[in-house]
């Protein structure tokens, strides 16, 4: 595997019961890049994202075919523990979902239960919050409930919580769709900064967002990967007509 490639999908099919959600997907994700997954609702982009950290395992009656290689290993091989995968591939969800705990305990929760960074939890918490550009806003209220924070702050807390596990990859499922424009701008700025240390794969409904923050963009339609190119190319001269129609708003 090319050392720039962190995840490689080979002929992946995915089914919810009898209905197929993804059809024969083969693609690679590059290290320390931001990859955007776009497409109309129901096109399978969120499904694909949740395949990468085995979150779809939680749904009864799903089935995966093909292989998804991460660090040369198929994460769907029978000897792979999904818990192990999720330690290395973190996730941020559409709606901010902090635990009803203090800000500090939200961050320390994952590392503590995994025995990571227990030697100096305070430093880890501070570091994670700084990475998520939230430290200055919350450093005096670390022992207050995370539920008191604004939506945008909660989402940055969720990013900090994921970062505290020091993952290799950060999956983001429409992380700004529930947020106001200012909070959205803050998170986009933050993603730009995280790229140095992390690989980011982000699902978004917002074309401008994909164009602004991603290096590469994949366009999906009804479970098929239609086009996968550098973001600049996708948004200026896409190879496929369907991509152009979607981006310019002719359907979707």
Partner 1 sequence: MALSMNTSMKWRYLKQHIFFAMVRASALIIALALGGLVFYIFYNGIGAISWEFITKPPTHSMTEGGIMPAILGTIYLTLGAIAVGLPLGIASAIYLTEYARQGRIVRLIKVGINCLAGVPSVVFGLFGLGFFVIFLKFGSSILSGSLTLGFLILPTIIGASEEALKAVPQTFREASLSLGVSKWQTIYRIVLPNALPGILTGSILGIGRAAGETAPIMFTAAAYFTAKLPGSVFDEVMALPYHIYVLATAGTNIEATRPIQFGTVLVLVAVVLGIDLVAIIIRSYMRRNKRW
Do the Cβ atoms of 246 and 221 come closer than 8 Å? yes
Do the Cβ atoms of 200 and 162 come closer than 8 Å? no
Nearest-approach distance from CB 8 to partner 1, in angstroms: 22
Helices (H), strands (E): how many in the chain? 10, 10
Phi/psi at 129 (5° precision)? -65, -35
Nearest-approach distance from CB 157 to partner 1, in angstroms: 11
Cβ neighbours, 10 Å, residue 241:
11
Nearest-approach distance from CB 122 to partner 1, in angstroms: 19
Distance (Å, whole) CA 40 – CA 189: 25
CB-wise, 55 or 234, nearer to partner 1?
Answer: 55
State which of positions 155-174 bind partner 1 (CB under 8 A): 158, 161-162, 165
State which of positions 18-57 bind partner 1 (CB under 8 A): 53, 55
188-208 b/e (C-beta count within 10 Å ≥ 16 → b): bebbeebbeebbbbbbbbbbe
Interaction of residue 97 with partner 1, rule CB under 8 A: yes
Judged by CB under 8 A, which stretch of 63-71, 90-98, 118-126, 224-232 contacts partner 1? 90-98
Interaction of residue 95 with partner 1, rule CB under 8 A: yes
CA 50 to chain CA mean position, Å = 9
- Kindly tell me which residue out of 113, 136, 143, 251 binds partner 1, with binding defined by CB under 8 A: 113
Judged by CB under 8 A, which stretch of 40-48, 96-104, 205-213, 240-248 contacts partner 1? 96-104
Which tokens in the block code for residue 94? 């559409």
Interaction of residue 115 with partner 1, rule CB under 8 A: no
Distance (Å, whole) CA 46 – CA 5: 21
Interaction of residue 110 with partner 1, rule CB under 8 A: yes
Tell me which residues touch partner 1 (CB under 8 A).
Answer: 53, 55, 58, 60, 83-88, 90-91, 93, 95, 97-100, 109-110, 113-114, 145, 147, 158, 161-162, 165
């Amino acid at each position: 595997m090319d050392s720039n490639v962190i995840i490689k999908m080979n002929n992946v099919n995915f089914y919810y019961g009898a209905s197929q959600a993804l059809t024969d997907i083969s693609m690679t994700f590059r290290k320390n890049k931001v990859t955007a997954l776009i497409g109309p609702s129901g096109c399978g982009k969120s499904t694909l994202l949740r395949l990468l950290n085995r979150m779809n395992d939680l749904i009864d009656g799903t089935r995966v075919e093909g292989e998804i290689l991460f660090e040369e290993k198929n994460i769907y091989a029978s000897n792979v523990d999904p818990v192990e995968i999720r330690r290395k591939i973190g996730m941020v969800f559409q709606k901010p979902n902090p635990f009803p705990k203090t800000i500090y305990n939200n961050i320390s929760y994952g590392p503590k239960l995994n025995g990571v960074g227990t030697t100096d939890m305070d430093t880890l918490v501070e570091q994670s919050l700084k990475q998520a550009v939230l430290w200055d806003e919350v450093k005096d209220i670390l022992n207050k409930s995370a539920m008191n924070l604004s939506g945008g702050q909660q989402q940055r807390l969720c990013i900090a919580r994921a970062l505290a596990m020091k993952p290799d990859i950060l999956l983001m499922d429409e992380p700004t769709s529930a947020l106001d424009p200012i909070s959205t701008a803050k998170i986009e700025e933050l993603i730009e900064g995280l790229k140095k240390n992390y690989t980011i794969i982000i699902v978004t409904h917002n074309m401008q967002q994909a164009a602004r923050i991603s290096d590469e963009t994949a366009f999906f339609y009804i479970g098929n990967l239609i086009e996968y190119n550098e973001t600049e190319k996708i948004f200026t001269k896409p190879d496929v007509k369907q991509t152009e129609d979607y981006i310019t708003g002719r359907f979707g």
